[in-house]
Structure 1
Amino acid sequence: MTIDILARNNVKVLGDGERTIVFAHGFGCDQDMWRYIVPGFASDYRVVLFDYVGSGRSQLQYYDAGKYNDLSGYAEDVNEIFDALGLRNAIFVGHSVSGMIGLLASIRDERRFGRIVMIGSSPRYVNDEPDYFGGFDAEEIQALLDMMEMNFIGWASYMAPIAMQNPDRSDLAEELERSFCSRDPHIARQFAEVTFLSDCRGELERAPVPALILQCDEDSIAPIEVGNYLHAHLKNSTLRLMNAKGHYPHLSHPEETASLIRQYLADA
């Protein structure tokens, strides 16, 4: 059976610039999360948006629990999207887990990638004593996964404000909670486990293209120690500390996020 890759991942292409910039959403989200960022880039770039299978308006019939039991399954889809669009030297902007998915995809086919921008990304969320601090003990991750399984709506209500970290902007936490709740609970639970138990530290040294690391202040999902670790282990990486708080600066502080990406690309 021939799969329509662009339909499977609900791929949207905007703008007509010479260079392509691909925006990849994080766990529990979809391409709509980039809506404040995209207009500023569509005038200068060819902008590509998509949803991972199981998210947004992707075609759920293609969800394969075996394939997506590892980040490599999502990286494979990214490469297929790049192939379907004939992309080369593209800029890949990945939020959260998508930073690592983009890294894995670039290792598979570096010709397609020119730069990677990682927003709040982490190579490993679980602490690994004594040398690595990812932000979570293994017991904390398991407790969150158990909560998702027992009370998915309750988990979403609990997690959204913690991840957003902008208490004066309750609308943002409410939007994130709605995004979480719109997912199939079983698919979301598996994606969460794959994300939070992943370990990409061993892949960092294989990164074939330069990377920009955008590190937010008070990010409860990817703390500053993670950003520093990425910068230390990714060759040709640039670390920028943001004024934005929380894990979703493209929603809470889109102007700063877009400005830092633009500055990086202008200097590249």
Structure 2
Amino acid sequence: MEFSRHPAMTAGTVHRDRVTLHYRVAGAGEPTLMLIHGWSCNQTFWAPQIAAFAGQFRVVTLDLAGHGRSAAATDQRPWSMADLAGDVEAVADAIGAESVMLVGHSMGGAVAVEAAIRMGPRCRFILGVDTFDEAAFYGARPPDEIAARRRIFEHDFAGTMRGMVRNITGETANAAVIDAIGDGMASSEPAVALAVLEQLLAWDIAARWPALTVPVATINSAMLARRNELLALDRLEIGLIEGVGHFPMLEDPDAFNALALEILRRQA
């Protein structure tokens, strides 16, 4: 994934807690649309969305600490979802965004929830992307399960990551896209990735959900919704998209962009 085919993007950095956070901005106007990537991903996973979204919003992508170009050592952060949400707020501050809508993929949905709580009325809407309601990731897993899931990745980080990607993408997904996702995630720093994973699995969306005061919608994979144990969350608008897995914005960007823009326009 890369940005080269998309409208002119301005690159910037902001320093927070000994980490240099990298971000890019395209388009203009308010509200600002902040795109938050998932676990072991980075801001280029939103490359197919920039051209579609920047014509109507100021669009911001960022690398959360420990991801992409925002390199960090394990001792630099506690790696909680709330701490990563501080990265989102720091970038919003750096670009002077007074009103934001947050789009969070996978773990980015958890980060968006914490960022919205942190930013209060400054945040007006959250759109999730295959996130929020999968019990195995957002339902505060027990410590022994978290340790066991960590050990699976410790045994063969890159191989396990690529295998996971193949398991959660759609059957008709382009093979080159699947390989690019797997390679990108497998290139993450294992120590940081596993520290973040532990914090994600310990996070409890049910405990944080009541603190949200903004509307929340999500575009989730119909395939994975049928496969997984799901949580029931009040006030969550769920739209299911067929023919894709965990990365709808990359597996079928045209269908995803059309649905996302329809939802975002209603909230702008």
TM range (shorter): 0.7 to 0.9
**1:122-148 deviation per Cα after TM superposition (whole angstroms, max 9, x unaligned):** 366439xxxxx96x8987654431121
- Native 8 Å contact 1:220 1:246 kept in 2: no
**C-alpha displacement of 1:64:** 5.0
Q: Which residue of 1 aligns with 2:121?
A: 111
**C-alpha displacement of 1:158:** 1.8
- Native 8 Å contact 2:30 2:99 kept in 1: no
Q: Which residue of 1 aligns with 2:88?
A: 78
The match for 1:27 among 28, 33, 39 is 39
The residue correspondences of 1:192-203 to structure 2 (distance < 5 A) are 192-203=197-208
TM-score (norm 2): 0.83
Flag the 1:264–1:13 CA change in 2: closer, same or farther, 3 A. Answer: same
The residue correspondences of 1:1-268 to structure 2 (distance < 5 A) are 4-5=14-15, 8-58=20-70, 60-61=71-72, 63=73, 65=75, 67-122=77-132, 125-126=135-136, 142-166=147-171, 168-219=173-224, 223=228, 225-226=230-231, 229-230=232-233, 232=234, 235=235, 237-268=236-267
**C-alpha displacement of 1:194:** 1.6
- Native 8 Å contact 2:30 2:100 kept in 1: no
RMSD value over aligned CA atoms? 2.8
- Partner amino acid, structure 1, of 2:49: I
Question: What percentage of residue pairs aligned between the two structures are identical?
Answer: 24
- Native 8 Å contact 1:99 1:119 kept in 2: yes
Q: Which moved more, 1:216-225 or 1:239-248?
A: 216-225
- Native 8 Å contact 2:135 2:230 kept in 1: no
**C-alpha displacement of 1:178:** 0.5
Q: Which moved more, 1:6-15 or 1:96-105?
A: 6-15
SS in 1 for 2:242: strand
Flag the 1:64–1:84 CA change in 2: closer, same or farther, 3 A. Answer: farther
**1:174-216 deviation per Cα after TM superposition (whole angstroms, max 9, x unaligned):** 1121112211111111112222332121111111111111121
- Partner amino acid, structure 1, of 2:126: I
Q: Tell me how far apart the structure 2 counterparts of residues 183 and 125 of structure 1 sit (CA, whole Å).
A: 24
**C-alpha displacement of 1:48:** 0.4
Q: How many residues align?
A: 253
TM-score (norm 1): 0.83
- Native 8 Å contact 1:118 1:211 kept in 2: yes
SS in 1 for 2:219: strand
Q: Tell me how far apart the structure 1 counterparts of residues 251 and 173 of structure 2 sit (CA, whole Å).
A: 11
Q: Tell me how far apart the structure 1 counterparts of residues 55 and 28 of structure 2 sit (CA, whole Å).
A: 7
**C-alpha displacement of 1:167:** 5.1
Q: Tell me how far apart the structure 2 counterparts of residues 20 and 188 of structure 1 sit (CA, whole Å).
A: 28
**C-alpha displacement of 1:244:** 3.8
- Partner amino acid, structure 1, of 2:106: S
Please list every run of 5 or more consecutive structure 1 residues that lacks an aligned counterpart in the other structure: 128-132
Q: Tell me how far apart the structure 2 counterparts of residues 37 and 244 of structure 1 sit (CA, whole Å).
A: 18
- Native 8 Å contact 2:74 2:192 kept in 1: no
Flag the 1:86–1:222 CA change in 2: closer, same or farther, 3 A. Answer: farther
Q: Tell me how far apart the structure 1 counterparts of residues 112 and 173 of structure 2 sit (CA, whole Å).
A: 32
Q: Tell me how far apart the structure 1 counterparts of residues 227 and 259 of structure 2 sit (CA, whole Å).
A: 18
**C-alpha displacement of 1:224:** 7.0
- Native 8 Å contact 1:82 1:112 kept in 2: no
Q: Which residue of 2 aligns with 1:130?
A: none
**1:82-130 deviation per Cα after TM superposition (whole angstroms, max 9, x unaligned):** 1222212211100011111111111122132111101111366439xxx
Flag the 1:46–1:216 CA change in 2: closer, same or farther, 3 A. Answer: same
